[in-house]
A = this chain, B = another copy of it.
Amino acid sequence: MIILIQCKDQVGLVTSISGILVQQQLNIVSMNEHVDKAQDRFYMRLEVEPLVDVAALEAKIKSVLPEDAVIAINQQLQKKIVVLVTKEYHCLADILIRNFFGTLGASVLGVIGNYTNLQNICERFDVPFYPVLYSPSILNEEPEEQIAAIIRQLGPDYIVLAKFMRILSPGFVAKFPKQLINIHHSFLPAFVGASPYRQAFERGVKLIGATAHFVTNELDEGPIITQQIIPVNHSHTAADMMKAGQEIETSVLAKALQLVFDDRVFVYKNKTVVFE
C-alpha cells in the first residue's frame, strides 16, 4: 500500500504520521521524505504493509496533518491511460509493447491519433484506435472536443502525449489538470516550441535531449518529471539528430511513466518532487 502526503511543513509531522502507522499495526517498508524549505512544504511517500481499510486510514492520517494536506492512498491497482499520437511510432510502440507484456504499470484504454498511420500497430495489439483528424487550420476546437469526449468516456488516470504534435488549447488543458504527460523533443528549457532538432542543429550543440513533463498552459513550461541527453557532433545532420533524439524520447517517456505509475511523482506549482 502506497501513501502519498503533501502539505505545509510543520514540526513533528514524521512522528505524527508514523505514530498513526504503528497504531494501525502497519509496517513501513520504505519511506521517502522531503522538506522544500523555499516553499515551506512537506512531501512524504510511504510503502506500508499489510493492506488495510483505506478510508479509515486516510481519515486518521488527515487528523494529524495541516488543513491543506493532500493525501493519496494507493492499493497498487494498475493505472489507466489514454495515449495521444500523431505520426511517429517510437513512443507509442514502446508503450504498447510494455502494455502487452504487462510491465507498463498501467493499462492502455485506447489511442487517439490525428493521423491514421498508427492505427495498424494498435490493432495488432488489440488496443482501440480513435482517429480524430484535424483540418488544416491550426485552431481547431472541434477535434479537441472529440478528443475530450473520448477521454471522458474512457476515464483514464493519465493522458500521455506520445509525440502528439498539436498544441492543445488552454480550455482543453484545464479539463485534465495534472493528468496530461508530454514528451518534448528537447532538453527544456532549450529549444522551446517547434522543430527543436532543427534549432539544435543550427545552434551547433554537442548534446541533445528530451524532457517528459506535465502539461500546463504555458507552452513547454509544465513541471518536469525527467530529462536525459545524448551526445551529438558535427557529423549529425538535423535528420540524424532527430533519429538519435527519438531513442532518447522513448527512453525518457518510459522512465517518466514508470515514475508516475509507481506513485513517485509529486507536483507543486511548476515543479515536481520525484522519489526515485
Contacts and interface: CB of A to CB of B under 8 A. Distances in A.
A224 B205 contact: yes
B204 A229 contact: no
A89 B99 CA distance: 12
B251 A227 contact: no
Contact of A234 (B14, B100, B189, B271): B271
A58 interface: no
Contacts of A12: 18, 22
A186 B163 CA distance: 27
Q: What secondary structure prevails in chain A residues at the interface with B?
A: mixed
A171 interface: no
Interface stretch (A29-37, A140-148, A177-185): A29-37
13 contacts: A12-B18, A15-B22, A33-B33, A34-B235, A36-B234, A37-B237, A93-B97, A97-B97, A205-B224, A206-B226, A234-B273, A234-B274, A251-B251
Given A37-B237, A188-B205, A205-B224, 14 more contacts: A11-B25, A28-B33, A29-B35, A30-B235, A38-B237, A93-B97, A94-B97, A190-B190, A203-B224, A204-B270, A204-B272, A206-B226, A234-B272, A247-B254
